[in-house]
Amino acid sequence: MTRRRSDKSLWSRWLVLLAALALLAAACGDSGGNSGGDTAEAPTTTTADTGGDSGTTATTAADTGGDSGATTTAATEPANTEPIRIGALTSLTGPFTSWGIPVSNGMQLAVDEINAAGGINGRMLELVVVDDQSNPEEAVKGFERLLEDNVVAVAGTISSGVALAEAQMAEDEGIPLFLSKAGSAAILTNDSRYTFRTCLPAAPMIAAPWAKYVEDQGLTRVGAIIADYEWGQSFKGAVEDAFGDMEGVEVQIEVAPVKEQDFTTYLRSLEDFNPDIILGTGHPPGVGPILVQSGDLGMDVGVTGPSSSLSAVMERMGDAAIGRYLDYSCADYFGSSYADLAQRYISGTGQPFMEDDAVAMYGAVTALAEAIGEVGDDPAAIADYLHANSFDTPGLAYPLEWTEWGELARSAPLLVKIGPGPAPDGLNQAGDWWPELLVQSDPLVPYVPGS
């Protein structure tokens, strides 16, 4: 496959990169910050050799004698046996490591299983793993490297700041890009055709499931603490939209600096309001301190998170998270397909628990494999196939299906609470805790860019 390189101006790309760097500097994108941590050693980053000649071979028949002389048969093209390369561009170091390692491991499990079953039309998949270091500038370099390696697609993006830079490259170069946890509404545009969300929908969509939960539970007072940057403000707007017309429900929102870790002042303001729940989703770096400090003040209510690694949450918060840490997940921890997949994942990767990022990226690879099997390894044809079809993924709470611009078309995340367990046999080697189901959202209305 020969890569078509874009002739678009490098100047526009650097403008996007500068914007992405600013977004990351504000608060490390969508990081769970203090609710997560580096829980495992990052896998080795490798790039395979590009292989041999993939051209056609001419075959000449032997001289047959007689008046007609030597005869040449028609040229024949041998079967293509070169590997099909997929890029895993994710955070193996930096603040998003606890998300990035499950991403890489989930993709590798899918590649290994597909290859064990014979590959795709006799060709093996090869995962080329690159560390974006949770940094937009490094992500751009990594994307360029993957283009040189002739990958057919890239997956694994965690941070919104990183995604903003990568999505522009994906659209310029015509390479499918799968986001795992990058919810900024600015990433997708009406013209996006190569960028696909998987686990986390756009920020304006994610308050709706919490509104449904509040309504179902009969809660009447909703407190929220958001960070004063792009993600936090997006979530603030989503909360105002989702709860604005709910009869009998009051909302009080506190806005804190991105780097704030002492939330006593903001919690004291909420204390008189006496909230039934505190939405911490809009302040990813502060969720851990908000949960602990609210408990110290006697506010024994649930605190919602930013779709963090559950094992990382437990490693950092310990028993304080039991019964009070609430989050949303794209993985169906309660279905038999998740159980089967998670057992293979734990056995094959040595990781103690299969996070929803691992499930989503396993699904991204299997969707890619189906597309390649049907239309070949041309990235444009792959993107068209992805847009035109729906993919049922083991362990995922909803089908992978996309709008014309790459938003999740049928996202229906689960809301969960970390409970004391016991965990189902063989599904959690990180402890005895286990997520408890609060509610599954109705399918979310896809966000339209610019709306």
Beta-bridged to residue 154, according to DSSP, are: 87, 177
Rounded mean pLDDT, 249-263? 94
Share of the chain above pLDDT 90, in %: 70
* pLDDT per residue as tens digits for the range 310-345: 999 999 889 999 999 999 999 999 999 999 999 999
Given this model, what pLDDT does residue 338 score? 98
Nearest Cα residue to 329 out of 373, 298, 360, 352: 360
The SS3 call for residue 236 is: helix
Is the model's pLDDT at 417 over the cut of 90? yes
Distance from C-alpha of 79 to C-alpha of 152, rounded to nearest angstrom = 19
pLDDT band at 269 (very low <50, low <70, confident <90, very high): very high
pLDDT of residue 61: 33
Q: Are 247 and 192 in contact (CB under 8 A)?
A: no
Q: 101 or 39, which is more confident? A: 101
- Residue extents of the structural domains in the chain: 10-38+82-202+335-411, 204-330+416-425+428-440
C-alpha–C-alpha distance, residues 316 and 225, integer Å: 20
Residues in the chain, overall count: 451
CATH code linked to domain 204-330+416-425+428-440: 3.40.50.2300
Extract the tokens encoding 428.
């959690």
Q: Which of 172, 166, 104 lies closest to 138 in space, CA to CA?
A: 166
Beta strands in 132-271 (DSSP E): 154-157, 177-179, 195-197, 221-227, 250-256
Q: Would you say 202 and 183 are in contact if contact means Cβ atoms under 8 Å apart?
A: yes
pLDDT tens digits for range 184-206: 889 999 999 999 999 999 988 99
Q: Which residue has the tokens 């929908």?
A: 201
CB 265 within 8 A of CB 293: no
Segment 228-239 mean pLDDT: 86
Strand partners for 253: 224
Which phi-psi region, left, alpha or beta, contains residue 283 (left: φ > 0; alpha: ψ -120 to 50)? beta
At residue 46, the pLDDT reads: 46
> How far is it, in rounded angstroms, from Cα 83 to Cα 127?
10
Mean pLDDT of 105-109: 98
3-state SS assignment for residue 247: coil
* 10-38+82-202+335-411 placed in CATH 3.40.50.2300: yes
**Topology agreement, domain 10-38+82-202+335-411 and domain 204-330+416-425+428-440:** yes
Q: Using the predicted structure, report yes or no on whether residue 21 has a pLDDT greater than 50.
A: no
Q: What confidence score (pLDDT) does residue 1 get?
A: 52
Paired tokens of 245? 């017309």
Distance CA 429, CA 445 (A): 36
pLDDT (average), residues 76-105: 90
Confidence band of 68 (pLDDT split at 50, 70, 90): very low
Taking alpha carbons only, the member of 382, 423, 389, 447 closest to residue 204 is 447
Is the bond into 275 cis (omega within 30 degrees of 0)?
A: no
Amino acid identity of 173?
Answer: E
Q: How far apart are CA 144 and CA 12, in angstroms?
A: 16
Tally Cβ neighbours within 10 Å of residue 417.
17
Structure letter (DSSP) for residue 396: B
